Structures are given as structure tokens and as C-alpha cells.
């Protein structure tokens, strides 16, 4: 790990001393060519030039990398087909310094569908693989264009964004887990992040997640409302037009004229249900309520919604046969209405869903076996009302 004496680093005497101390303390684990001073400075800056704190952060990250087999198994790991097809992102080109430009059509991220099709670990592994690829590309770019190309530029398109799926706790927890993973293991890799076409509801979402973003990362995020005439020129200050799709102010188009270049920048979109994990396993069943509904009868679950802006979500499966499923609402004035019309659900399929609900009201979930004259039905289910998005607490964050 040879030091890099580059005047472009602009270090004062205290910072040079901290770098020298840090370099010496981690020499046993930083023994690759890419572990030069530019690499070490990322960790030092992330810990305000405290060499001891930077060492702990780096060693913790090295242990994390070993846990996820990033140098050994990850390179040969192939993401499940559903992630390959429905994870929205792609490389547009390079900025004027040579840094990779990643575009993320964020509204196309169907976390509900993806998390019902693959494990959370697969989602995390996919993000790690993508980050590692772009960092390797940035390193190659820096060798050709200089150190200013070592960081990444991200453009997140929020056109069509909705908060609805993030009221589902597993989706919100995954986002926070990924943010924490990024902050702990990929410090100072972001050159700039432009979040464009933000709707009004975005401010609510950003207020939740920014608690998990450090000051450096926050300083690199620029938020732009849905006015391309204002944000496109900002992008073009540092990016040549031939390095951006036309939708973002550049000149790139697909062969069919698509201004978003969807052939290279995957738009994501709703995951087809045929990808869902359809069969309920015995382990899943153990985590669900279960009830046997006699032929000709119904089973109801009453849920109280105390305030506006909540969501009612459900997951259930029926053994072998089918059953009708619906939701009714009784508001505070005693008026009853249908919130979800009854529909027939086939046996063994894992049915999932989410609707917005408002209180004060009582919502009744109905499992209806009244049309069966001979067969009892066993249902495994979880139904609940989640709090308003403004009260969403994500303190219980998964660690894997």
C-alpha cells in the first residue's frame, strides 16, 4: 500500500499526519493496489479525520465484506431473473470528469412484488453487486481520466413516485437497511445525486430517510421539482448531452426513439404475480394465524382504524380449496360500505394486498366459505392496519 503524494489532495499538516497514522494502523488489511491514499481518505473523511474511528469503521466494513463473500462468491453469484428484469437502473454514460452516471427510475421499484418473489438477502446482495461493479468502473475511469472520476453520479427520477408501498414495513425496513449499509461500507463514493421530478409527497418520504444519511452524503444530494426546464440545465453543467438520455436533457435515444433509453436503463415496473413465492411453506404457516372455516360459514376479523392516512394490508393462503375474500367498512356514523369487493382466491396461493383506510372506522376482513356445502377450509392469515406514514417508525432495522 504505497502512499500517493498528489498535491491535488489539498491536505493540511494535521490531515497528512492522520493519513500517515491511519495508513500504518491498517497496513495488515489494506494490501491491495486499490488500497491507496485515495481509498484511505474516504474513511478518514467519513470519521472527521479521527484515525482511530476510521480504523474501526474500515475493519468493521472488512468483516462485513467477508460475511457477504464480496471478494469470493459474489462475483459469480447470479441474481434471480425477477431482479434482473424488474430492478430499475442503468448506466447512462460518464460526466465531464469521467465519473459513471447511474440513472434510477425510482418509481419503477416494486418492492412489494420483489420482496414477495425473492428474499431480503437477495435484494441486499443485488445492491452490493451493483455498487461493486460501478466502483470498479469508476476506478478504471480514474486510471484513464484522473482522480476526479473515482466517484459516482446518480440521477434518481421520481416521476410517478407513490408512498403507498412504503407503508408496508418490510419495504421501509429494506430501504433503511440499504441506507445504513451504504453509509457504513461505501463512504464518500458519491460525487453528486440529483433527485428529479419530485412530487409533493416526496418531502414526507425524504423526512423519514434523511435521519439515516450522514452530513457528507446529504451535501451531495440536490432535489429538483418536476420542472425539466430547470433541472436539465443543472445536469448539463457537469454532463455532456451525448452522455444522457433525451428524457434527462441529453441527446441519447434508443433505436426505437425511446427518450428514456429503456433498453439500457431498465425501467422496472410492477412484478408479475407469477414470480411470487406462491406456495406457503410450513415455516411460513407457523408465523400466521390459522382458522378452519366450516362449510357454509364465514370467518371475520375486525380491525379498528383510529385516524386518517392508514393502510390495511393482508397476506393469507388457503389449503387446497378456494375461498372468497373481501373487506367492509363501518364508519364512525354507522354507515357501512364495501372497501374491497369479494373475490375468489384459489387454494395454496399466497394472496397479498394493501389498501388505504381512514378512521375513525372499523374494517371487517371476511373469509367467506358460505358457498361451500361440503368442504371445510383452513386459512393461514395475517391482517393488520399500519399507522399513518407520518408516524412510521423504522427503529427496528434488520441487521442482515
Q: What is the pLDDT of residues 180-191, one digit of tens each?
A: 999 999 999 999
Does residue 395 lie within any of the structural domains? no
Does residue 393 lie within any of the structural domains? no
For the whole model, what pTM was predicted?
Answer: 0.74
The 3-class secondary structure across 53-70, one letter per residue, is HHHHHHHHHHHHHHHCCC
Identify the helix (H) or strand (E) that includes residue 390. Answer: none
Distance CA 75, CA 164 (A): 34
Q: In this predicted structure, which of 23-27, 112-116, 186-190 has the lowest mean pLDDT?
A: 112-116
DSSP string, 80-146: -HHHHHH--BEEEEE-TT--EEEEEEGGG--HHHHHTTS-HHHHHHHHHHHHHHHHHHHHHHHHHH-
Distance CA 75, CA 58 (A): 21
Distance CA 136, CA 169 (A): 33
> Do residues 145 and 101 both lie within one domain?
yes
Sheet holding 351-357, edge to edge: 289-293, 377-386, 310-318, 351-357
Distance CA 97, CA 94 (A): 8
Residue keyed to cell 462468491: 73
> Do residues 203 and 78 both lie within one domain?
yes
Residue keyed to cell 470498479: 136
> Do residues 81 and 194 both lie within one domain?
yes
> Do residues 320 and 240 both lie within one domain?
no
> Do residues 53 and 92 both lie within one domain?
no
> Do residues 216 and 126 both lie within one domain?
yes
Of the residues 270, 287, 322, the one at which a domain ends: 270
Residue 54 is part of a domain; what is its CATH number?
1.10.8.20
Q: In this predicted structure, which of 139-143, 281-285, 378-382 has the lowest mean pLDDT?
A: 281-285
Of the residues 247, 270, 293, the one at which a domain ends: 270
> Do residues 254 and 304 both lie within one domain?
no
> Do residues 130 and 149 both lie within one domain?
yes
pLDDT tens, residue by residue, 216-275: 899 999 999 999 999 999 999 999 999 999 999 999 999 999 999 999 999 999 999 888
Does residue 397 lie within any of the structural domains? no
Does residue 176 lie within any of the structural domains? yes
> Do residues 150 and 221 both lie within one domain?
yes
Of the residues 49, 67, 85, the one at which a domain ends: 67
> Do residues 177 and 192 both lie within one domain?
yes
Domain count, the chain: 3
From residue 313, how far is each of 283, 308, 322, 393 by CA, in Å? 20, 15, 20, 17
Give the pLDDT score at 359. Answer: 85
Beta bridge partners of 344: 324
Domain around 346: 278-386
> Do residues 109 and 231 both lie within one domain?
yes
Amino acid at each position: 500500500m504505497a502512499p500517493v503524494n498528489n498535491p491535488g489532495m489539498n491536505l493540511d499538516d494535521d490531515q497528512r499526519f492522520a493519513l500517515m497514522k491511519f495508513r500504518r494502523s491498517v497496513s495488515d488489511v489494506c494490501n491491495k493496489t486499490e488500497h491507496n491514499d485515495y481509498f484511505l481518505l474516504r474513511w478518514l473523511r467519513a470519521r472527521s479525520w479521527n484515525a482511530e474511528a476510521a480504523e474501526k469503521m474500515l475493519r468493521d466494513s472488512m468483516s462485513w465484506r467477508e460475511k457477504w463473500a464480496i471478494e469470493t462468491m459474489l462475483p459469480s453469484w447470479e441474481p434471480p431473473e425477477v431482479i434482473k428484469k424488474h430492478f430499475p437502473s442503468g448506466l447512462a454514460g460518464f460526466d465531464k470528469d469521467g465519473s459513471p452516471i447511474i440513472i434510477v427510475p425510482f418509481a419503477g421499484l416494486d418492492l412489494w412484488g420483489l420482496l414477495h418473489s425473492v428474499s431480503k438477502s437477495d435484494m441486499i446482495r443485488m445492491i452490493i453487486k451493483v455498487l461493486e461493479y460501478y466502483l470498479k468502473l469508476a476506478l478504471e475511469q480514474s486510471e484513464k481520466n484522473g482522480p476526479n472520476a473515482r466517484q459516482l453520479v446518480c440521477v434518481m427520477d421520481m416521476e410517478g413516485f407513490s408512498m403507498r408501498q412504503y407503508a408496508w414495513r418490510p419495504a421501509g425496513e429494506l430501504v433503511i437497511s440499504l441506507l445504513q449499509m451504504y453509509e457504513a461500507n461505501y463512504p464518500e463514493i458519491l460525487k453528486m445525486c440529483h433527485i428529479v421530478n419530485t412530487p409533493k409527497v416526496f418531502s414526507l418520504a425524504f423526512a423519514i430517510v434523511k435521519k439515516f444519511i450522514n452530513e457528507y452524503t446529504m451535501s451531495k444530494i440536490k432535489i429538483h421539482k418536476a420542472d425539466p426546464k430547470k433541472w436539465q440545465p443543472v445536469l448539463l453543467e457537469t454532463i455532456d448531452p451525448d452522455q444522457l438520455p433525451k428524457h434527462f436533457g441529453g441527446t441519447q435515444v434508443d433505436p426505437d426513439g425511446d427518450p428514456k433509453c429503456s433498453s439500457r436503463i431498465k425501467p422496472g415496473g410492477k412484478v408479475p404475480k407469477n414470480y411470487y413465492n406462491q406456495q406457503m411453506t410450513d415455516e411460513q404457516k407457523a408465523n400466521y394465524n390459522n382458522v378452519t372455516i366450516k362449510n357454509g360459514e364465514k370467518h371475520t376479523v375486525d380491525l379498528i382504524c383510529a385516524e386518517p392516512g392508514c393502510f390495511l394490508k393482508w397476506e393469507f393462503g388457503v389449503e387446497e380449496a378456494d375461498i372468497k375474500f373481501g373487506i367492509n367498512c363501518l364508519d364512525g356514523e354507522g354507515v357501512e360500505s364495501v372497501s374491497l369487493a369479494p373475490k375468489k382466491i384459489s387454494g395454496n396461493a399466497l394472496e397479498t394486498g394493501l389498501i388505504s383506510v381512514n378512521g375513525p372506522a372499523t374494517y371487517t376482513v371476511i373469509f367467506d366459505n358460505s358457498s361451500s356445502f361440503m368442504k371445510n377450509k383452513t386459512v393461514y392469515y395475517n391482517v393488520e392496519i399500519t399507522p399513518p406514514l407520518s408516524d412510521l417508525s423504522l427503529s427496528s432495522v434488520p441487521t442482515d
